[in-house]
Amino acid sequence: DTGVSQDPRHKITKRGQNVTFRCDPISEHNRLYWYRQTLGQGPEFLTYFQNEAQLEKSRLLSDRFSAERPKGSFSTLEIQRTEQGDSAMYLCASSSDRVAYSGANVLTFGAGSRLTVL
Amino acid sequence: AQKVTQAQTEISVVEKEDVTLDCVYETRDTTYYLFWYKQPPSGELVFLIRRNSFDEQNEISGRYSWNFQKSTSSFNFTITASQVVDSAVYFCALSERNAGNNRKLIWGLGTSLAVNP
């Protein structure tokens, strides 16, 4: 397994356009998280999936944001009608809740998808 | 409220120097987890260590060591004999009580470490 993959790595778009990011977690991980990170800040939690169920959404996730994990494997994060304030690095992470798994509950992050809204 | 403070915004050292990154946290929980992550220029957050609140033993891993002191609510990170490859932003994070979910890590603002040759 090559870790958590995110695509695209960079996206430049014009204000008002829609963008979609994809995350492929580590295959044996049942939990998937989206975070957002702006320059000079730590990651901010956006949302969390256990298998295909979206269990929690941050208040940061406005109605323009939607995330899915249809089959409990990869996930997509869509931003509609992008605004300049959406410019950030969008990070995906995955983890496993299996007690026997030695790395249980430690988040493994992808390299992120950097969004620039002009 | 939970909070993580990394008072050092930027640190610059010369290679082979030892450097300590400070982390102070606030929580009302008696059960919690603390983490350190490294974010090199490539951007990917790399897990370094997890420590639960009941384990105050210090830990050493190669040139890295961590000092956890509940009495001062600190979880400091020391790099011994720093190398240029250690240059990165280092984040300290605190999880809520239900660490089984680990879904709401509270992050510090990070310390940017520059190790110069």
Residue B108 has its nearest CB partner, among A42, A108, A114, at A42
Least confident range of A32-36, B62-66, B97-101, B107-111: B97-101
CB atoms within 10 A of CB A16: 10
Cross-chain residue pair B43–A112, CB shorter than 8 Å: yes
Q: Report pLDDT for B1.
A: 75
Closest chain A C-alpha to B39 CA, distance in angstroms: 10
* Interval A63-114: pLDDT, tens: 999 999 998 899 999 999 999 999 999 999 998 877 555 555 788 999 999 9
Which chain B residue is nearest to residue A99, measuring alpha carbons? Answer: B100
Q: Report pLDDT for A56.
A: 86
**Position B106: which residue type?**
I
Residue B103 has its nearest CB partner, among A33, A44, A111, at A33
- Establish if A74 touches chain B: CB-CB under 8 angstroms: no
- Chain A residues near residue B46 by CB distance under 8 angstroms: 109
Which chain A residue is nearest to residue B36, measuring alpha carbons? Answer: A106
Contact A31, A50 (CB under 8 A): yes
Taking CA atoms, B108 is separated from A62, B21, B37, B105, B111, in Å, by: 24, 12, 11, 10, 9
Residue range A53-59: mean pLDDT, rounded: 88
For chains A and B, what is the number of CB pairs under 8 angstroms? 61
Residue range B40-52: mean pLDDT, rounded: 90
- Establish if A33 touches chain B: CB-CB under 8 angstroms: yes
- Chain B residues near residue A53 by CB distance under 8 angstroms: none
DSSP result, A33-69: EEEEE-TTS--EEEEEEETTEEEEE-TTS-TTEEEE-
Give residue A118's pLDDT band: very low, low, confident or very high (50, 70, 90).
very high
- Establish if B47 touches chain A: CB-CB under 8 angstroms: yes
- Establish if A17 touches chain B: CB-CB under 8 angstroms: no
Q: Is the peptide bond before A25 cis (omega within 30 degrees of 0)?
A: no
Q: What gap in Å lies between CA B13 and CA A111, rounded to an integer?
A: 26
Give residue A33's pLDDT band: very low, low, confident or very high (50, 70, 90).
very high
- Chain B residues near residue A48 by CB distance under 8 angstroms: 101, 103
